[in-house]
């Protein structure tokens, strides 16, 4: 198993962001196209758009606009790690991102993690440092075939509830 050292992108955040969504670390395809969840088979962008009855905007700038309009911030749990391809189970030497940085830049009311590995790593490496818990959501990866698109949309509904709330 050949491990490659990879780094996360910079956070996608706006001063009005209320919800922070965290993946584990960008996949090889995401790094190739320079956007989180960049694999066209990953259902993340389709699910986020569907929460507001919108179509997946596909283009990078339009995806960022989708996040901005709905007060969503996007980043990764890990700043860097060694990983084999896109296999979260192969992660070694994880270094967490400074989640406090995002919390200082925007009025984040809730943090959601996408997938069990992101959730476990967040709870172990980030939560003790920033003091904010997370809500774990199922992975939108094509490898998570047990979850239909409809079930994912239902599971991700709390993102819309928090983003649209006036809290």
d(CA 38, CA 130): 28
pLDDT in tens, 74-90: 999 999 999 888 888 88
pLDDT level of residue 93 (50, 70, 90 thresholds)? very high
Residue 87: the pLDDT is: 82
d(CA 51, CA 154): 9
Q: Which of 116, 124, 37 is nearest to 74 (CA)?
A: 37
Domain range 4-164, CATH architecture:
3-Layer(aba) Sandwich (3.40)
Residue 86: the pLDDT is: 82
Residue 162: the pLDDT is: 96
DSSP element (H, E) containing 99:
helix 99-105
Residue 90: the pLDDT is: 86
The interaxial angle of helices 44-51 and 60-69, nearest 10 deg, is 40
pLDDT in tens, 24-72: 999 999 999 999 999 999 999 999 999 999 999 899 999 999 999 999 9
Residue 148 has pLDDT above 80, yes or no: yes
d(CA 81, CA 6): 6
pLDDT in tens, 100-142: 999 999 999 999 999 999 999 999 999 999 999 999 999 999 8
Domain limits, the chain: 4-164
Residue 1 has pLDDT above 70, yes or no: no
Residue 167: the pLDDT is: 62
pTM value is: 0.96
Strand partners, 111: 20
Instruction: Taking residues 139-162, report their average pLDDT.
Output: 95
Residue 166 has pLDDT above 90, yes or no: no
Burial call 119-148: b when 16+ CB within 10 Å, e when fewer: bebbeebbbeebebebebbbbbbeeeeebe
pLDDT in tens, 2-28: 888 999 999 999 999 999 999 999 999
Q: Are 18 and 106 in contact (CB under 8 A)?
A: yes
């Amino acid at each position: 198993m050949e491990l490659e050292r990879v780094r996360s992108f910079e956070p996608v955040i706006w001063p009005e962001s209320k919800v922070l969504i965290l993946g584990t670390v960008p996949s090889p395809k995401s790094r190739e196209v320079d956007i989180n969840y960049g694999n066209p088979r990953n259902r993340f962008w389709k699910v986020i758009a569907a929460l507001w009855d919108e179509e997946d905007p596909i283009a990078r700038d339009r995806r960022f606009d989708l996040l901005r309009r709905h007060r969503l911030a996007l980043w990764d749990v890990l700043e860097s790690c060694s990983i084999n391809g896109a296999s979260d189970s192969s992660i070694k030497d994880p270094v967490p991102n400074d989640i406090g940085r995002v919390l200082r830049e925007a009025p984040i009311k809730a943090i959601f993690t996408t997938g069990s590995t992101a959730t476990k790593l967040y709870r172990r490496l980030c939560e003790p440092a920033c003091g904010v818990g997370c809500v774990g959501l199922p992975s939108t990866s094509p490898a998570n075939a047990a979850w239909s698109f409809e079930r994912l949309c239902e599971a991700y509904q709390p993102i819309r509830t928090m983003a649209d709330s006036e809290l």
